[in-house]
Amino acid sequence: MKCYLISAKWCPACLIMLQRYRAFFAHQTDVDITIIDYDEEPERVKEFAVGSTLPVLVVYIDHQETQRIIGEKSLKQLQRIFSI
């Protein structure tokens, strides 16, 4: 599973979710998270057609986008989304 996390240094929700995603996927060896900075990599951000709310986690399985999680989510919500 390949995940792209579009986040920004000035965004409190991004900082919270960055740590939360790391903890959430810590024990899953098949998950690879790439962080894309909203301000430093605008061209890459454009590819993901991100809206006006950050952070955005785009999940790919076999090169297909399967999930898009926008904004701040609790651990419980993440468990529900990923059915863990």
Distance of CA 51 to CAs 5, 7, 22, 42, Å? 13, 12, 23, 13
CB of 22 to another protein, least distance (A): 11
Q: Does 35 bind another protein (CB under 8 A)?
A: no
- On whether the CB atoms of residues 5 and 60 are closer than 8 A, the answer is no
Nearer to another protein, 37 or 60 (CB): 37
Q: How far apart are CA 41 and CA 15, in angstroms?
A: 17
Residue from 29, 52, 64, 83 binding another protein (CB under 8 A) = 52
Q: What are the residues binding another protein (CB under 8 A)? A: 8-17, 19, 38-39, 52-55, 70-72
